[in-house]
Structures are given as structure tokens and as C-alpha cells.
């Protein structure tokens, strides 16, 4: 009985849907998190009577045919790159990107990772680093005698030194954009890696055409909408229940057959 297998694929699909939604809700407070959305496709069809075939020797054509679908499958889980809200922290090394772009991070392996999480600090050597101590590229060192640090909208890092009236430029933070942000590979810790699907990295100066501005003293919050996620969760739960009802109905039909004499 096909309906047993079809309903089982529906339950598996809704289970995946609930897992994606639960991950969104779990990361409600994660800095720079981008919500995900599961997409589904129907499976192949079984042709019991092929559409367009001839139905007689006079050349009459079957207009519709008989095709039975075999269920559903998960096609993709998309990352929604919608701008999150900006939360003021008053920490001078907290940075947020308003608009497109990712911070570039040097991993211990030497690879470059990308993130929207701008909760930065200073290493013992005075370099700007992530919460895990990874260096923010291109590598900017703050002098020990710096009294104040200003990072403007274009990513220029300016420091105030004793005995100097003018601010000194000690570096330029660059951000990166990709042709297909959804193609980036998430590796955890709010980090992403470039893949063939994302397209090559395109580094640039913040505030340039196509690149977002840097906001000092802010962090970008998660873009998860709780009301939308709860609504989607209820819909997925009901769809799961309906597929389970199909399995129950199919089982009762099989039981009827087994009782026939």
C-alpha cells in the first residue's frame, strides 16, 4: 500500500521542518544569527496511465493520464540573510555591520572564516580578536598608550594618543561580500566558510557601493521572529499529525483485508 510509504515521507519531512524551526528558536539570542527555512520537493511519480499516450488505434490522446505521487523530500535549508536589529552595548570594540558584508576572521588553521558577530576584544598583544581569540583581518594592533579608540563607518580604526591632538589611523577593517550568501558553509561559533556555491569572496571597504557600514558600540541581534517561528511550528506539528492519521487509516484498511474470509 503506497499510502504507508507516502505518509512516512511526509512525517520525516515535517520532522526536519521542526528541527530547523527549533534551531531558529534556540538561537533567538545568538549575535548575528540568520534564521533558516526548510524547502521541500515532491518525489517522483508513478505513471499508471501515461499522459499523452494514445487511447485507440484512431490516434485519440489521453488528456490527463494517471500519475501517483510517491511523497516528499527535503530539497534545501535556506539561510535568510535579513538584517537583524542593532543592539547598543557601549563597548568600543563591539561592531555591527548595517547592510551587506561579513567580518573576516583568521582561524588557527590559517583559513579565513566570515562572521556577522562583531563582539570583539583585544588580545594580550593588543590585536582586535573575536571572543575565541581569533584575529580579525587584516590584523589591527591597538597601541598600549592609546587613550581612546574610534572605529568609523568606513572601518578606519583611529586612536587617541597622549600628547597628540590629531587621531592616529592604525588600520582599516575590511568586510567581505559574496554573490550567494546562502552558499556559505556554517561551521559553528557564528563562523562561515567560502564554498563553490557562495562564489569567490569579494573584500572591500565598508561604506563602498554594495558594502554595509560599520557601527561601533553595537552588535547585530538574531533576525529570528518568534511569532513567525511559533506559527510555523504549529503548522508543522499539525502536518505531522495528519500524516500519522494517514498511516493509521492505511493500517486499518490493511486490517480489514486481513479479516476477509
Domain boundaries, the chain: 2-81+224-258, 86-220
Q: Are strands 168-172 and 175-177 parallel, antiparallel or unpaired?
A: unpaired
Q: What is the pLDDT of residue 232?
A: 95
Asked whether the beta carbons of 238 and 207 are under 8 A apart, the reply is: no
Q: What is the pLDDT of residue 89?
A: 92
Q: What is the pLDDT of residue 200?
A: 95
Q: What is the pLDDT of residue 163?
A: 75
Q: What is the pLDDT of residue 191?
A: 95
Q: What is the pLDDT of residue 94?
A: 93
Enumerate residue ranges in the chain where pLDDT < 50.
Answer: none
Q: What is the pLDDT of residues 165-215, one digit of tens each?
A: 788 899 999 999 999 999 999 999 999 999 999 999 999 999 999 999 999
Asked whether the beta carbons of 136 and 118 are under 8 A apart, the reply is: no
Q: What is the pLDDT of residue 146?
A: 84
- Residue matched to cell numbers 556577522: 116
User: Angle at which helices 2-26 and 226-258 pack, to 10 degrees?
Assistant: 160
Q: What is the pLDDT of residue 38?
A: 94
Amino acid at each position: 500500500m503506497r499510502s504507508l510509504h507516502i505518509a512516512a515521507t511526509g512525517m520525516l519531512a515535517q520532522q526536519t521542518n521542526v528541527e530547523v524551526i527549533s534551531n531558529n528558536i534556540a538561537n533567538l539570542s545568538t549575535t548575528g544569527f540568520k534564521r533558516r527555512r526548510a524547502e521541500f520537493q515532491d518525489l517522483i511519480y508513478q505513471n499508471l496511465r501515461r499522459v499523452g499516450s494514445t487511447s485507440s488505434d484512431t490516434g485519440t490522446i489521453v488528456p490527463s493520464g494517471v500519475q501517483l505521487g510517491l511523497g516528499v523530500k527535503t530539497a534545501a535549508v535556506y539561510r535568510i540573510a535579513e538584517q537583524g536589529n542593532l543592539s547598543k552595548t557601549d563597548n568600543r570594540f563591539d561592531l555591527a555591520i548595517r547592510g551587506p558584508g561579513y567580518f573576516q576572521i583568521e582561524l588557527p588553521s590559517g583559513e579565513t572564516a566570515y562572521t556577522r558577530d562583531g563582539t570583539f576584544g583585544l588580545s594580550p598583544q593588543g590585536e582586535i580578536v573575536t571572543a575565541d581569540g581569533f584575529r580579525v583581518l587584516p590584523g589591527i594592533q591597538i597601541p598600549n598608550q592609546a587613550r581612546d579608540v574610534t572605529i568609523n563607518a568606513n572601518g578606519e580604526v583611529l586612536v587617541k594618543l597622549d600628547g597628540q591632538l590629531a587621531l592616529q589611523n592604525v588600520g582599516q577593517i575590511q568586510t567581505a561580500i559574496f554573490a550567494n550568501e546562502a552558499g556559505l558553509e556554517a561551521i559553528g561559533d557564528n563562523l562561515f566558510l567560502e564554498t563553490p556555491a557562495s562564489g569567490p569572496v569579494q573584500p572591500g571597504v565598508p561604506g563602498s557601493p554594495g558594502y554595509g557600514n560599520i557601527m561601533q558600540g553595537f552588535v547585530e541581534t538574531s533576525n529570528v521572529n518568534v511569532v513567525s517561528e511559533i506559527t510555523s511550528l504549529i503548522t508543522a506539528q499539525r502536518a505531522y499529525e495528519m500524516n500519522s492519521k494517514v498511516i493509521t487509516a492505511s493500517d486499518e484498511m490493511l486490517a480489514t483485508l486481513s479479516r476477509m474470509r
